[in-house]
Amino acid sequence: MALCVAVLAGCDSEDIDDTYPEIQLLQPVNCDTAVVGNQLMIKALLTDNVELGSYSIDIHHNFDHHNHTTEMEECVLSPKKSAVNPFNYIKGYEISPGLKEKEVTLHIDLPAAVDTGDYHLMLRLTDRAGWQSIKAISVKFIAEDK
């Protein structure tokens, strides 16, 4: 019992990280388009009050018009359709210890043969304490004009 009291007395409420990390997604923005056969550039500024942990990118089709956008603006959606060759990208990234801020620039190849249409891009950021923030937008994949 004395050990528990000593351990609890040693805890300082100022040492507790109870703040969500923050995501500023600079590119793309909600309702942007991306051309299949090219690269999708993702630029973001990730910040935390104590220490960043990791982030992940999830890009998947929205042909059934499901929703998890974090934006107020609603995008114009193409008609619902079945996926034939949808693009799917899920990848996690660790952030070097000790960082409170990280600028991210990713170039993701969009194969020319993937289905065009409505997609979601989700960026999840987790700090070292385990708090997570999500930024989710809609992006339309289009074919290049010839």
Quote the pTM value. Answer: 0.87
User: Tens-digit pLDDT profile for the chain (146 aa)?
Assistant: 444 444 444 455 567 899 999 999 999 999 999 999 999 999 999 999 999 999 999 999 999 999 888 898 999 999 999 999 999 999 999 999 999 999 999 999 999 999 999 999 999 999 999 999 999 999 999 998 75
Residue 6 has a pLDDT of 43
Domain range annotation of the chain: 19-142
Q: Which fold has domain 19-142?
A: Immunoglobulin-like (2.60.40)
Q: Which residue has the tokens 């942990």?
A: 53
Cα-based distances in Å from 5 to 1, 9, 10: 6, 6, 9
Strand pairing class (39-47; 101-109)? antiparallel
